[in-house]
Structure 1
Amino acid sequence: MSKKSKKNEGIGSKLALVIKSGKYHLGTQQCLKDLRKGEGKLLIVANNCPPLKKSEIQYYAMLSRCKFHQFNGNNIDLGRACGKYFRTSVVTVLDQGDSDILETLTKQN
């Protein structure tokens, strides 16, 4: 098992815990709304998110002082990590719940 897949599994399991116990939003439009309000704590973006959309999201994340994480999988993998059966390019974590995903990602970066 490679190092990247282990890292994705760890993030995937922590993300699943956020989905069960925390608050989150899926999708780019809702992400931008949350960032404008200053509510987002963490953004997880798929690696095949369009570059223009990704740069817009990064800009708003920088302005609202929200953490940004690049997911090492495409939008299908990110949707599966959330336990959904559809694609999603962005997951906005509003409240981490019982997970320690914020602390884990700050240690890695």
Structure 2
Amino acid sequence: MEYGGEKMDLSRQLKNAIGTGKLLFGQKQAEDACARGDVKCVIFASNCPQDFMKALQARHPEVLFHQTMMVNRELGVACGKPFSISTVSVIESGNSELLSLPSNIQ
């Protein structure tokens, strides 16, 4: 993926953040963490339900929202999990560059 002329390997950045930061997985976790004001960025799978994404974005305009081109199964694999993940909430990015992702949901 291209961001400002640089190519970011999202899978590598997710693994880096898992090891050095704090991430939460799933829609319910995202809703709860956003409500507490803990989330800096939410990453959605390409097949995450549109109504969920729009509702979360409307309730929390201060959060960075990014939709990846990976489907939920691929996002789960990228996070090193044996299950599908539709939503990743970044609480602390650690040594990753996840917070430099552009907001791409209108």
The runs of at least 4 consecutive aligned structure 1 residues that moved more than 2 Å come to none
C-alpha distance in 1 between matches for 2:11 and 2:59:
24
Distance 1:60 1:20 in 2: 29
Residue 88 of structure 1 deviates from its aligned partner by: 0.9
Higher helix proportion: 1
TM-score, reference length from structure 2: 0.85
Question: Does the 8 Å contact 1:23/1:93 carry over to 2?
Answer: yes
Match in the other structure for 1:10: 9
The number of residue pairs the alignment matches comes to 101
Distance 1:97 1:36 in 2: 22
Quickly say closer, same or farther: Cα 1:17–1:55, change in 2 above 3 A: same
Alpha-carbon contact 2:27-2:87 (below 8 Å) kept: yes
Across the aligned residues of Structure 1 and Structure 2, the Cα RMSD in angstroms comes to 2.1
- Residue 61 of structure 1 and its aligned partner are, at CA, apart by 3.1
Matched, 1:82 2:86: no
TM-score of the superposition, structure 1-length normalised? Answer: 0.83
